[in-house]
Amino acid sequence: MANSLSNTALTFTRSLFQPEKQCSLSVLTQKFQPASPRILDQLSTRRLTPPPAVSKTKEALSSIIHELEREESTAKNKQRNERELADCWSEMLGEDDWAGLLDPMDPLLRNELIRYGVMAQACYDAFDFDPYSKYCGSCRFTRREFFERLGMAEAGYDITRYLYATSNINLPNFFKNSRWPKVWSKNANWIGYIAVSNDETSKKLGRRDICVAWRGTVTRLEWVADLMDFLRPISSDKIPSPDPTVRVESGFLDLYTDKDESCKYCKFSAREQILTEVNRLINEVYPKEEVSVTITGHSLGGASALLSAYDIVETGINVRGDSRAVPVCVFTFAGPRVGNARFKARLELLGVKVLRVVNVHDVVPKSPGLLVNEKAHPLVIKMAENFPWSYVHVGVELALDHKNSPFLRHDGDLVCAHNLEAHLHLLDGYHGRGERFRLNGRDYALVNKDCDFLKDEFEIPPNWRQDHNKGMVKNKEGRWVQQERAVHDDHPADMHHHLNKLGLPSNNI
């Protein structure tokens, strides 16, 4: 009834602008009163008592229309809030490319974006980046205690596998290594995890969700300088592609496909780890359930998320025996460009849905591809698509501006503008273009967890997240020593079996 009333009121007020309706408001009032007295009551509450000629009241009437449209939008948002995620999860995963969900911002989609952003943020919070720790470059927790130790017991997911990559590639500033001689691994870094929603959470989500979370850089941006800015065919690393002109950035491809067979943790590439585990979960563990694959990552982790999504769908492991395709969706935060125009076209053809959340003041989403990118004329993109420096962003972009937040300093450095917690803060307060920034409950203090971005008036110290005593504990003799940690799982014993099932040869038998 409220929506009907609002729509009728809009019709009434808009009619005042029609040329044939150039008469006084009092005449129109008499005309409309028998049919819609409540609308006139609604108009009278806005203090529109009989004005002079309509031509002199257009500004006031335009204001009414704007207000009624906002009320209509508020009513729609209320209806959206009352929806159950289980009934519209495919819409949240981009079934219609998020049409009508970004402006104004759909509350359910905002919650989902923040939820997956938190899953990516967990990679940072759990990562040991202290060069004085013999566990530097690893995860600080075992996968069974991961969420609980991070205060995320309510996440509703169980980690089935940790992901590792070799540091012997051309992105040295992405990796962290200990300065001590005796370390957990000399050549490996922990780069994320694969988790599956538990029964209770799956019921709320409307499906069993397989989440792949990629770690990005920790705080610094030096890795951007490591980009070779060189595109090479994705098929050159044995990733299937019927189109040899599909090209991606060389360093990203190395991170995803390289391995070190002499290393316990990276004797299988990140690619092999992800494909085998996602295939096992889809086709062996949950073959009869409704399943989704949602991949998330921040910064360089966003680039890895795109590559793994492409690989999962191009390889076809998301297609079940009855030809049903499991939807694959990517949510990236502050991600760089990854490939050329053919990479974008191929991803779209394969049906991979991508939503990119960016801060317009962040430099990372603007690189690589400073010379030729998606903003160039289509003819220029077409002419340059085979060159090694022609990059195009993929998917739908949600552009946020940290200057719209009253909590953040406008003079924050490049690291602040790139920070993931800052992106989640901006998401929490975003309601649509031109709408006032209003937080929905996420604690703004989280922004300063690993940076100095909040205004001083809020009295939140910068970089406040610290490890207790930097991991030092007293042993039985009363000496302070580095706390020992449980040995992490490396790879399943039957890894080669799963690789062979996918037609991926393995030398690790």
Among all chains, which residue has been given the structure tokens 């085998």?
A: 276
Taking the alpha carbons at both ends of the chain, their separation in whole angstroms is 68
362 is catalytic: yes
Q: Output the six-digit token pair for 46.
A: 């806005």
CA distance 373 to 165: 29
CA nearest 115: which of 157, 165, 163, 167?
A: 157
- List the catalytic residue out of 298, 393, 418, 498: 418
Distance of CA 260 to the CA centre of its chain: 30
Rg (CA), the chain: 27
Active-site residue, selected from the candidate residues 128, 209, 260, 362: 362
Q: What are phi and psi of 427, to 5 degrees?
A: -60, -40
Q: How many CA atoms, within 13 angstroms, populate the side-chain half-sphere of residue 431?
A: 14
Q: For residue 182, what are its two tokens?
A: 């005796």
- Give the number of C-alpha atoms closer than 13 A to the C-alpha of residue 253, restricted to the C-beta side: 20
Identify the active-site residue in 299, 308, 390, 405. Answer: 299
Listed in sequence order, the residues at least 6 apart from 68 whose beta carbon sits closer than 8 Å to its beta carbon are 6, 9, 10, 13
Question: Can you tell me the distance from the alpha carbon of 486 to that of 138, in angstroms, rounded to the nearest whole number?
Answer: 12
- Whether 418 is catalytic is yes
Query: Which active-site residues does the annotation give?
Result: 299, 362, 418
